[in-house]
Each structure stands twice: as structure tokens, then as C-alpha cells.
Amino acid sequence: MSDAEPRPSTDFIRSIVNEDIRTGKGDGRVHTRFPPEPNGYLHIGHAKSICINFGIARDYGGKCNLRFDDTNPVKEEQEYIDSIIEDVRWLGFDWEDRLFYASDYFGTLYEYAVKLIEKGKAFVCDQTPDEVRECRGTLTEPGRNSPYRDRSVEENIDLFERMRAGEFPNGARTLRAKIDMASPNLNMRDPVMYRILHASHPRTGDKWCIYPTYDFTHGQSDSIEGITHSICTMEFEDHRPLYDWHLDALGIYHPRQIEFARLNLTYTLMSKRRLHQLVKDGHVTGWDDPRMLTLCGMRRRGYTPEAIRNFCDRIGVAKADSVVDFSFLEHCLREDLNRRAWRMMAVLRPLKVVLTNYPEEKTEELDAVNNPEDEAMGTRKVPFSRVLYIEREDFMEDPPKKFYRLAPGREVRLRYAYFIICDEVVKDANEEIVELRCTYDPATRGGDAPDGRKVKATLHWVSAEHALDAEVRLYDHLFTKENPDEAPKGQDFTANLNPDSLEVLSGCKLEPSLSGAKSGDLYQFERLGYFCVDSKDSTPAQPVFNRTVTLKDAWAKAQAIERK
RNA sequence: UGGGGAGUGGCCAAAUUGGCAAGGCUCCUGACUCUGGAUCAGGUAAUUGAAGGUUCGAAUCCUUCCUCCCCAGCCA
């Protein structure tokens, strides 16, 4: 094995896992978890986290739990729980019987809290939110102790029990960890462990009126589940000392928290707050709008789980802030679609072509390849007749040098059909081109000339008589700027919304094989891009297709550069 | 001006721990082609944030500095 493959480099998290296994930490066990808060829909950034957590479990023969971090009933809803379960499953991951909720542990967490009170490591504080803020200090100044910090264990226990019993209104008291108000890490300045929230919880209903905070919940939940590596994003790095403090104070099993940089993508926004805003303010049609980088939006757009997973596996895992080019996501998408999608012909902006030397009543069935990348996908028949549609942009009356499609007097090939020559351009009163009159060469049936002559272009087409009508939705980036947050003074990201992010085309002409198209089928409309049936709005009578992504298009690119 | 992180071609990102700067995306050529797709071949692009220092040798070690990100929710 002299020319061994260079071993794929391991990211820093896997290096840590390797080291832990080598040193026998945790008996060589690997157990991760994906811990979403059910307060919104999952997006491509979550996919990265999902792929890391489930991927590491898979690679090391370990396990990965799905755990909802549902400690804030005022923001969380069953709708989100349902969508998250659906999306993680769709992405292709399996948590077997390990679907958990932090709320499953509310009882245990309460006991843990009592334990810390008994150890003198927690106290009930009567300060108002404003007073807490007041005493917290600033980035450069230490905080001051709460006047309630030195209550007796008995009084703390009594008050905490009464908090639980519902004796006090929201915000009246909190349970706080007794750590260090002078800590340079603000998270360590006696952080709140429990707050009073008279709110109904999607899972526990009205059983509780006090709820543990993230900091008092996450590590203990990890501990309870026997998590070995608790992987989260960088903004929690400051919380790690607190994560560790709770676990040590409690003296329970202590997982290790590891932080990585969250995903950013050009032309897209990832924060849930702003995703909410886009939906709420009607800039998109919903969480599953195909322009959204939510998993449900991407699914509706035609992204495959395979493409998303491959993308996540290839972008790498590191701690430095980064912004991945959107074109890389598209690259991964096309790579998958190219080898799986059925090739079809569809004309989006039809231009009528009449073959003047083709018999009026005649129809032929021509053979077309379903996928040149995969012979096993076979061939199909495509009907051909005297009147056809071609793409408007495939004809130019007065073409520039680099344009080598159809033009007056020029010969091109109709894919899988015949060579045709354009003899005449028919215009209406407004000088609009409404029809092309062409002649075909019967000897070129199937697309090859027996005399060996070549044509520069091959066009897609659809027989008018046999065509299916459809609506096609073309999508572009939701934002015009690589960084949507880069807005003019006084304006926010909505100033960068792309007015052309959606273009709806009606009266598109599809080849008849598409009549059986159903949601989830992957298609390439030849020379145009990849398309899918819209899962919401399409009906057999009125089909609606979404453009998932265009094909790479050297001609379009050259034109775009020329226009600049 | 406290604390915590991070800086490697335009964008991600490796570099077996001091040994002669991978790979992918983008971009540009060319070949091939019944998709201006795919594929194949090649190319442009990095004094590794900066300056000093140690060393035969530094992206890796030491000093100083610069820049960016996160933290003052009873959100996660």
C-alpha cells in the first residue's frame, strides 16, 4: 500500500473525540445530542449542527439523542416541535427511541436546585429584573451582591417551595446560583437558575409555574442522558464555566462542552428572529417559502437531504467566524441532482415554430434519454409534430457573434429530433416576433446528419399539440447583498430584499411525460435547470413547478458580464 | 479601557505537532459533447493579520502590536 489515500483530515471536534477514546475517557463511549429550542423552524445552520452531532455518533459507533430544549413556555409551541421532528427525520437521521425533552427533567432539576440550596450554593432573590441588572455591574465594573444573598437555607427552601406553589407573580423572585458577583465573566455573577412564569407549557401544561433557565438545564440534561460530548456554537463558550460549575456543585456525571462556529451563508440570513420577521411581515409566504433557507423551505424548493448533508460535511468545522459562498451550496445540490434527476424538455417562454415542410397531421414518437449519467434510467418517447414551441431566448433575429442558437437562415438541432433551418420571422403589429417558419431535414431524424454536417446548437422543444400547460416559479436570492445586514443608515436588512426573488411564469409548455410528475420527483428541464413539483400549490389540473437551481450557464454568464 | 474566542489565495479549509503552504468552491483556458450541462486536462491567485526574535529550517515556538466576533435576558 505504497500509494495510500491521504487520510481525510479530522476536524478539531473529532480530534478531541479521538483523544478521549485513546485515553479511555468515558469508557470510549461517544454520545451526542441535537438540542433545538422549539421556538421556530430549523434552517441550514441547524443542519450543520445536526450533521456534526449525528455524524460523530455514526462515525464512532455511538448514539445521538434528539432533545428539545423546552424551558421557556412563552416562546415555544407544539407546531415547532412537530416541524423539527419532521425536518431532522427528513434530513436522514434517526434517534431511535431517544426523543427527549428537557421538560422531562423538570422534576429532577427541581431536586437538583434544592440540593444546591442545601449546600448553600443557591438562594432565592427578591430583586426585580431592573434591580438585578443594576447590581450586575458592567463589562468593566464588578457587580454587587444581592441583599438577599445570605438568607438561611431554611428560608430559601421555604421560599423556593412557595415559588413552585404559585404564591408569587411573574418576576417577583428568582432562584440564583451563589457564585461571584465580581467575576469578569458576567455569566458567573449569580446567574438565575429558576424564574417564575405563570405560563402553560406545550408538554407539561400547567404543572409548573417556575421554569429553569437554559444554563441550569442544559448541562444537567446532558448529564442525565450520559452525553459524552456536548457540542454547541461559539456564543456558549462564555457559558462553559457555568456549565461546569453546576455539574461540579451537584457532583454528578460531567460531559464536556465543545463549541464550534455557526454557519453563515452569503445572501442569506440565519437568525431565528429575522426569519420570524420575514414570515410575520409577509416578505415571504411562510416558513416553507422556497426562498427560505429553512429545511422545510429547501425541501419545497427541491433540495435533497443528500445534497444538504454533503454540503454540511464539506464546509468543515472550525472556531473561526466564516461566511460560506452560496455557490458552494448550489454546487453540492447540482452534483446530487445531476446524477439523479430525470431529464425532460420544457419551454418556459414559448415561441411558436411551424415546420412548413412537415405534414399537417403527422406525429412521431422520438426516443429521448432519461439521464445521460445513468443508463439504467432508460429512455422515453417524446411526441413531435408540425407545430412546436422553442424558448424565446433561443432565437435572435440579429444575433451577436457569440450567439450560436437559432437565427434567420441558420440551422440548429432540435434535441432528439431534426435539424431545422429558420426561413421566416413572423411579427405582429407591434413588431413582436410571434412565430418562426422553419423547414426540417427529414434525413436528420433522431438528431444526426447522415452527411456528417454539424450544427453549433441543440435546442429543447415541445410539440404544441401535445404540450402540458404549467405554472413555473423561478427563484433567486431573497437578498441582493452578500451580507443582507449591510443596509443603508437607519434601515435594516429588509432594505436589501430582492424584488426579483420570485418570478412566476404561466403558460409554460411541458413535454407530456411530465403529466405524472409528483412532489418529490427530481427533474432537470434540459438546458434550464432542476425543477420539482410544488408540494403545496400544484394540482394535476394545474401543475406548478419550482425551479430548484439553474444549470451552470456559460452563455448567461457571458451575457451578464457584458451587461455590466 | 473586563472576560472569552478567532485571523492561512476572492470564499471554505488542511498541513501527521518545527521539515520546505493539500483539497474544494469561485474565476480563466483548452479537450470532448445531441444540454453553452456533465466529464476530462490545465491555469490565475498566499511574503499564512503585522513587526521583531529563536532556529540550519517557523503557518506551527517566544515577544509586542493590529483587526474581527461574542458576553451586561428572569432568551436559548
Nucleotide with the nearest C1' to A35 CA? B76
Which chain B positions come under 7 Å from a protein C-beta?
Answer: 1-8, 10-15, 17, 22-28, 34-39, 68-76
CB-based contact A326:A267 (threshold 8 Å): yes
Q: Is the pLDDT of residue A6 over 50?
A: no
Estimate in Å the CA A156 to C1' B12 gap, whole number: 52
pLDDT band at A26 (very low <50, low <70, confident <90, very high): confident
pLDDT given for residue A490 in this prediction: 86
% helix / strand / coil in chain A, to the nearest 5?
A: 35, 25, 40
Q: Mean pLDDT throughout A522-547?
A: 98
The answer to whether the beta carbon of residue A447 comes closer than 7 angstroms to any atom of strand B is yes
> Which domains, and CATH codes, for chain A?
12-260 (3.40.50.620), 272-342+470-563 (2.40.240.10), 346-460 (2.40.240.10)
pLDDT given for residue A564 in this prediction: 67
The answer to whether the beta carbon of residue A6 comes closer than 7 angstroms to any atom of strand B is yes
Estimate in Å the CA A58 to C1' B18 gap, whole number: 35
Distance of CA A127 to the CA centre of its chain: 42
A294 three-state secondary structure: strand
Nucleotide with the nearest C1' to A373 CA? B38
Residue nearest to nucleotide B74 (CA to C1'): A195
Q: Please tell me the distance from the alpha carbon of residue A106 to that of residue A364, in angstroms, as a whole number.
A: 71
Q: Please tell me the distance from the alpha carbon of residue A34 to that of residue A16, in angstroms, as a whole number.
A: 18
pLDDT given for residue A238 in this prediction: 97
| CA dihedral of residues A125, A131, A132, A133 (deg, nearest 10) | 170
Q: Mean pLDDT throughout A332-354?
A: 98
User: For residue A26, what are the contacts with CB-CB under 8 A and spacing of at least 6?
Assistant: A20, A228
Q: Mean pLDDT throughout A112-141?
A: 97
pLDDT given for residue A7 in this prediction: 44
The answer to whether the beta carbon of residue A317 comes closer than 7 angstroms to any atom of strand B is yes
Estimate in Å the CA A18 to C1' B62 gap, whole number: 30
Residue A196: all three cell numbers together: 417564575
pLDDT band at A8 (very low <50, low <70, confident <90, very high): low
Residue A520: name the closest of A512, A511, A531 by CA: A531
Nucleotide with the nearest C1' to A232 CA? B76
Task: Give the tens place of pLDDT for each residue, A467-493.
Answer: 999 999 999 999 999 999 999 888 999
Nucleotide with the nearest C1' to A339 CA? B38
CB-based contact A73:A201 (threshold 8 Å): yes
Residue A205: all three cell numbers together: 401544561
Nucleotide with the nearest C1' to A405 CA? B36
The answer to whether the beta carbon of residue A536 comes closer than 7 angstroms to any atom of strand B is no
Q: Please tell me the distance from the alpha carbon of residue A516 to that of residue A514, in angstroms, as a whole number.
A: 5
Residue recorded with cell 408538554: A203
Estimate in Å the CA A306 to C1' B31 gap, whole number: 31
Report the share of chain A in percent with pLDDT over 70. Answer: 98
Q: Please tell me the distance from the alpha carbon of residue A208 to that of residue A160, in angstroms, as a whole number.
A: 13
CB-based contact A287:A294 (threshold 8 Å): yes
pLDDT band at A321 (very low <50, low <70, confident <90, very high): very high
Estimate in Å the CA A318 to C1' B7 gap, whole number: 12
pLDDT given for residue A9 in this prediction: 67
Higher pLDDT, A564 or A415: A415
Q: Please tell me the distance from the alpha carbon of residue A71 to that of residue A76, in angstroms, as a whole number.
A: 8
pLDDT band at A3 (very low <50, low <70, confident <90, very high): very low
Nucleotide with the nearest C1' to A399 CA? B36
Q: Please tell me the distance from the alpha carbon of residue A276 to that of residue A545, in angstroms, as a whole number.
A: 26
Residue nearest to nucleotide B15 (CA to C1'): A9
The answer to whether the beta carbon of residue A402 comes closer than 7 angstroms to any atom of strand B is yes
Which pTM was predicted? 0.97
Instruction: Please give the positions of A annotated as active site.
Output: 37, 262, 272
Q: Mean pLDDT throughout A451-466?
A: 96
Residue nearest to nucleotide B24 (CA to C1'): A314
Task: Give the tens place of pLDDT for each residue, A260-303.
Answer: 999 999 999 999 999 999 999 999 999 999 999 999 999 999 99
Estimate in Å the CA A487 to C1' B10 gap, whole number: 22
Estimate in Å the CA A237 to C1' B52 gap, whole number: 33
Residue A263 is given by DSSP the state: P
Q: Is the pLDDT of residue A75 over 60?
A: yes
pLDDT given for residue A486 in this prediction: 92
Does the interface ipTM go beyond 0.90? Answer: yes
The answer to whether the beta carbon of residue A226 comes closer than 7 angstroms to any atom of strand B is no
Q: Mean pLDDT throughout A434-463?
A: 96
pLDDT given for residue A560 in this prediction: 83
pLDDT band at A1 (very low <50, low <70, confident <90, very high): very low
Q: Is the pLDDT of residue A553 over 90?
A: yes
The answer to whether the beta carbon of residue A446 comes closer than 7 angstroms to any atom of strand B is yes
